[in-house]
A and B are shown apart, each in its own frame.
Chain A
Amino acid sequence: MTDISSPFDPAALDRLVRFGGEKLLASMIDVFRSNGRERLDAARAALDAGDAAAAALAVHSLKSSAAQLGAMKLSGLCADAEVAARAERLEPLAGSLPELVAAYDDAVRWMSGRVARQGSEG
């Protein structure tokens, strides 16, 4: 299991602001909101179809985006599910999907809160 000491890494969001300002951060969060949900839907569909390769691709993409945006718990859950799916094992993803969805929702709330706080302070 991937060890996640903290669900979120605020430094990741600060880093994105350094890379491209608040505009880049807001744009990346917007994309994460829509694409993340699509990846979760794709993972669920892949589970239903028993398609391990498609499941691995869906959680891999979500893992990458989540890590760049500091959603470390979500990224870790995706990493575990990806490793299993690449070994043709879908049970771990099936078991963790509710937790994965909850972690995604938590991550979106956390990111949105960061942007809202920045807006009110700026």
Chain B
Amino acid sequence: MKRIAVVEDNADNRLLLQALLGDQFQLTEYETGAEALAGLVQSPPDLVLLDISLPGMDGNEVLERIRADESIRHLPVIALTAHSMNGDREKFLARGFDDYVTKPIVDEMILFDAINSRIEG
């Protein structure tokens, strides 16, 4: 079973992702960026779902640190965010995210497609 790291401080969003993805993937949950970085290095997953508005180190900084670390820079990282304004998608892709999924999650297929297109079967 492929492994996904979920970096999300909101417990309700973690519950939702567990319900949507828990049957297909092995999820490892992190509530803060610092906790996630330590975990990703120790046990790299196949993909990272990264919330942007995290307390302390935000998702953008977490991504920068992932891309700066030789051992985990290859990981596909999908931004999961409630920042949904015109031009946001391009902004996040330009920063180095592999994809961008907005919250609230209304159509789960958008999330599934973003994940499946970046995880080899």
Q: Which of B53, B55, B103 is A68 in contact with, Cβ under 8 Å?
A: B103
Q: Which residues of A approach B to under 8 Å, CB–CB? A: 12, 15-16, 19-20, 24, 27-28, 31-32, 35, 57, 60-61, 63-65, 67-69
* Nearest-neighbor residue (CB-CB) of A16 within chain B: B16
In contact, B105 and A31 (Cβ under 8 angstroms): no
* Nearest-neighbor residue (CB-CB) of B106 within chain A: A15
A selection of 21 A-B contacts at a CB cut-off of 8 Å is A12-B104, A19-B19, A19-B105, A19-B108, A20-B16, A24-B16, A24-B19, A28-B12, A31-B11, A31-B12, A32-B12, A35-B12, A60-B53, A61-B9, A61-B53, A64-B10, A65-B13, A67-B103, A67-B104, A68-B103, A69-B12
Residues of A within 8 A of B12 (CB): 28, 31-32, 35, 65, 68-69
Residues of B within 8 A of A67 (CB): 82, 103-104
In contact, B82 and A19 (Cβ under 8 angstroms): no
In contact, B53 and A28 (Cβ under 8 angstroms): no
Residues of A within 8 A of B103 (CB): 64, 67-68
Residues of B within 8 A of A63 (CB): 82
8 Å CB interface, B6-45 against A: 9-13, 15-16, 19-20
Expressed in whole angstroms, the Cα–Cα distance for A28 and B15 within the complex equals 7
Residues of B within 8 A of A35 (CB): 10-12
Which 4 residue pairs across A and B have the least CB separation, nearest first?
A20-B19, A64-B82, A68-B104, A31-B12
